[in-house]
Amino acid sequence: MAGHPGAAAILRHHDVPVVEAASVQDAMRHLWSDPAISVVASVMNLPGGGGQRLIDTARIALGRDLNMMIVSPLKSGSDVALPILARLSREAARGADAETANEVDKLFECLAVAAEHKDNETGRHNRRIGRYAGTLAAAMGWRPSHCRTIELAASLHDIGKIGIPDTILFKSSPLTPEERIRMEHHTVAGHQILSAASSPVLDCAANIALHHHERWSGGGYPFGLRGTAIPIEARIVALCDVYDALRSARPYKAGFSHQTAVAALLTGDDRTSSDHFDPAALEAFRHVQSGFDDIFSLMAEN
């Protein structure tokens, strides 16, 4: 509960554990350290950036489901506490389903760990792509359950690189034509791995793995698809993947600033053209690009 001590007191009276925060930064510290927190309520004028900033940052940065709401400081504690209690009751009723979903999440985390075994930065990249994809899907109007699906699936986009030799994967000089073919095969290999079984997340992940290097204007790989022939989930991840590649340092280049990366995506540079990306995804990115910067900053070290 951020900024409303009256509501916090009433929730405690109903035996609901409450953590109070006086600012956005204080609230984020609690959220990072306590995974049991499931509901976030904040007044709009919370010090440190405001309640909406807290909710946006928490939704982007934390890899778990949270019920979030903005409340009025002018309302009585009971007016604020009652809807929170109602949400907690619904969560309790869904406990069995949530437990099952949590087990599924853990399975996908295991797959993601396998995908990132090469080095720590690869792991951070994979997890950031998941967060970006969930954020962008939400900005495009996807339902929360579908946003969670693409967040899980997108973290496996490069699982096909498991079979790429380190001498190719971490080469600092340009790849030979033969090495380029081997590298590009990671899309097909990833699709084969993820198609071994079927579920909503695995099916989404398989599509992403196969098609996330296709381009809206054509000319991508492995099939040179264009436009809506590319699955929407892959079109979303394609943009996210390029943003993170631009931001990240590589043996052959320094990482770009957020502003430079955004400009490259929206207006193009010597290697990137805006027509590589789904126009709807690009427009949504324009509105939530600051959230991408938050994700990159928060997950560069964590």
* Same domain assignment for residues 277 and 206: yes
pLDDT computed for residue 213 by the predictor: 98
Same domain, 85 and 127: no
Q: What is the mean pLDDT of residues 260-278?
A: 93
Give the pLDDT confidence score for residue 146 in this predicted structure: 92
Domain's final residue, options 62, 78, 93:
93
Same domain, 54 and 120: no
Specify whether 44 is located in the same domain as 129: no
Residue type, 12: R
What's residue 269's pLDDT?
86
- Choice between 11 and 17, residue whose per-residue pLDDT is larger: 17
For residues 81 and 144, membership in a common domain is answered with no
Over 60: is that where the pLDDT of 205 sits? yes
CATH number of the domain bearing residue 139: 1.10.3210.10
Residues 227, 187 within the same domain: yes
| Mean residue pLDDT across the chain | 79
Query: What is the amino acid identity at position 158?
Result: D
79 and 122 both lie in a single domain: no
What value does the mean pLDDT take over residues 137-151? 92
Q: What angle do CA 88, 90, 91 make, to 5 degrees?
A: 65
222, pLDDT greater than 80: yes
Q: For the packed helices 51-61 and 24-33, what is the interaxial angle rounded to 10 degrees?
A: 30
Total domains, the chain: 2
The count of other CB atoms within 10 Å of the CB of residue 107 is: 13
The model's pTM: 0.66
Q: What pLDDT digit, counting tens, does each position of 155-190 carry?
A: 989 988 877 888 888 888 899 999 999 999 999 988
* Domain-terminating residue out of 62, 93, 124: 93
Judgement on whether residues 218 and 72 belong to the same structural domain of the protein:
no
The pLDDT assigned to 76 comes to 47
> Would you state the pLDDT for residue 221?
97
Is it the case that residue 272 has pLDDT exceeding 80? yes
Tens of pLDDT, residue by residue over 237-262, are 999 999 999 999 887 788 999 999 99
The structure tokens listed for 207 are 């599509």
With bands split at pLDDT 50, 70 and 90, how would you rate the model's confidence at 271? confident
Q: What is the pLDDT of residues 86-122, one digit of tens each?
A: 454 445 445 545 544 555 565 566 566 555 555 556 6
Q: Cα dist. 15→10, 18, 85 in Å?
A: 9, 9, 10
**Poorest-confidence range of 15-19, 22-26, 250-254?**
15-19
State the DSSP H helix or E strand holding residue 70, giving kind and residue range, or none if neither: strand 67-71
Bridge partners, residue 21, by sequence: 2
**pLDDT band, very low/low/confident/very high, at 44 (cuts 50, 70, 90):** low
- What domain range includes position 46? 5-93
Q: pLDDT at position 214, please?
A: 98
Residues 113 and 221 in one domain: yes
Residue 59: its pLDDT value, please? 64
Residues 187, 115 within the same domain: yes
Confidence band of 82 (pLDDT split at 50, 70, 90): very low
pLDDT for position 39: 67
Q: For 205-230, b where at least 16 C-beta lie within 10 A, e where not — what string?
A: bbbbbbbbbbbbeeebbeeebeeeeb
Determine the Cα angle at 125 with ends 122 and 126, to 5°: 90
Residue 142's pLDDT is what?
Answer: 94
CA torsion sign for 290, 292, 295, 296 is negative
Residue ending a domain, among 30, 58, 93, is 93
CB-CB contact of 182 with 171 (8 Å):
no
Q: What is the pLDDT of residue 232?
A: 98
Question: CA nearest 239: which of 206, 203, 213, 205?
Answer: 213
Sequence-separated (6 or more) residues with CB below 8 Å from residue 259:
none
